[in-house]
């Protein structure tokens, strides 16, 4: 299968201090990959690198088989202010921002897509509710509905099941698997190892560096997870500052 993302000796960090370093691996088109490892292991940092919001300190991150790839990204913690006076339907409609433009003109076909997204996430009847009245699980469904509208070929999800109930988690898991069956490439960070083993055929384990990458049943082992924790524990804020900055190539 062709590669959708390729990392070569990739180092990412903040203020020139590396958070993950010397990563070399590929994600294939249509793959379904979980990223596992301890807190502080660099999982969120890697996703930010793929979105382009973090530029490589060293090495490169490329989309080797396309000049550009449409990416949809759901951060671990949403920056949505629940007191902001916006309804569910208006918030979800923002997923069409690139199509709507600054005048927020929604065509009939766009409206059909919006309601299809709302229906897919079980949000019929919620359209006019202010987002500030939603529970955590309901808000996560709204965020997924907005993500779905972006119709991206590469979907990045950063711990999307934190602080939501099991029923909603299972519902969203089924949706993610459906997106993958439709041909989308999914990369997701998760802590729940059983969810990874049950649903994700590929796993990447990070502990500031790549510990293992491959078939989940082969790489998601106690030894690899222990190694990731050990490397994170050994890492400290006095890590070497990178001597050069190499731009990424998208």
Exposure on the CB side of residue 76, measured as CA atoms within 13 A? 15
Q: What is the DSSP letter of 137?
A: H
* 19 and 120 inside one domain: no
Task: Give the pLDDT of residue 241.
Answer: 44
pLDDT of residue 237: 46
Residue 99 is predicted with a pLDDT of 67
Same domain, yes or no: 61 and 165:
yes
State how far Cα 133 lies from the chain centre. 26
> How far, CA to CA in Å, does 148 sit from each of 100, 117, 153?
15, 7, 11
**Where in the sequence is the domain holding 120, given as residue range(s)?**
71-151
Is 178 in the same domain as 234? yes
* Domain shared by 144 and 90, yes or no: yes
- Say yes or no: 27 and 92 in one domain: no
Check pLDDT > 90 for residue 84.
no
Same domain, 80 and 61: no
Final residue in a domain of this structure, among 124, 151, 178: 151
Per-residue pLDDT, 103: 57
Express each pLDDT in 145-189 by its tens digit.
999 999 999 999 999 999 899 999 999 999 999 999 999 999 999
Total domain count for the chain? 2
The reply to whether 63 and 78 lie within a common domain is no
Cβ partners under 8 Å of residue 148, min gap 6: 95, 117, 120, 121, 179
Average pLDDT, the chain: 89
Quote the pTM value.
Answer: 0.89
Burial (CB count <10 Å: 0-12, 13-18, 19+), residue 105 = exposed
């Amino acid at each position: 299968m062709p590669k959708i993302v390729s990392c070569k000796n990739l180092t990412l960090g903040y203020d020139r201090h590396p958070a993950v370093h010397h990563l070399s691996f590929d994600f294939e088109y249509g793959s379904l990959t979980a990223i596992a490892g301890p807190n502080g292991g660099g999982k969120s940092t890697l996703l930010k690198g793929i979105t382009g919001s973090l530029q490589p300190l060293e090495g490169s991150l490329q989309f080797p088989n396309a000049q550009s790839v449409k990416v949809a990204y759901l951060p671990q913690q949403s920056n949505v202010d629940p007191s902001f006076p916006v309804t569910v339907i208006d918030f979800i409609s923002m997923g069409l921002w690139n199509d709507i433009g600054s005048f927020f003109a929604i065509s009939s076909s766009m409206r059909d897509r919006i309601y299809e997204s709302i229906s897919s996430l079980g949000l019929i009847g919620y359209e006019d509710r202010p987002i500030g009245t939603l529970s955590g699980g309901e808000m996560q469904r709204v965020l997924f509905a907005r993500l779905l509208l972006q119709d991206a070929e590469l979907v990045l999800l950063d711990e999307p099941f934190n602080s939501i109930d099991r029923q909603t988690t299972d519902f969203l898991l089924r949706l993610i698997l459906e997106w993958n069956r439709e041909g989308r490439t999914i990369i997701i960070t998760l802590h729940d190892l059983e969810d990874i083993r049950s649903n994700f055929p590929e796993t990447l384990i990070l502990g500031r560096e790549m510990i293992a990458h491959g078939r989940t049943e082969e790489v998601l082992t106690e030894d690899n997870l222990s190694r990731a924790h050990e490397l994170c524990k050994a890492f400290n804020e006095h890590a070497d500052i990178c001597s050069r900055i190499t731009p990424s190539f998208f």
